[in-house]
Amino acid sequence: MDKIEIRFGQRVKEIRLKQNISQEELAFRCGLSKNYISDVERGTRNISLKSIEKIAEGFVINIKDLFEFK
């Protein structure tokens, strides 16, 4: 199984594409930088709980939905 950062990043990208928004738009909604979102999606960030919450809020979903891995 892939590392958790990779699986999480893939899930973020999947939801973002489903919502049809850019990394820039997601970053704006979350109050995070576009580079940070890019790093998260590529699985190169060990993201913190607070930032996980920001991403869920940016998507307007529950945090647990970010962990609905395939």
Number of residues that bind a second copy (CB under 8 A): 16
Taking the complex as a whole, the smallest distance from the CB of residue 52 to a second copy amounts, in Å, to 7
Span from 12-20, 23-31, 62-70 in contact with a second copy (CB under 8 A): 62-70
d(CA 7, CA 33): 20
Handedness of CA 42, 59, 32, 26 (dihedral sign): positive
62 binds a second copy (CB under 8 A): yes
Indicate the angle between helix axes 4-18 and 49-59, nearest 10 degrees. Answer: 20
The residues of the shown chain that bind a second copy, judged by CB under 8 A, are: 4-5, 8, 46-50, 52-53, 62-65, 67-68
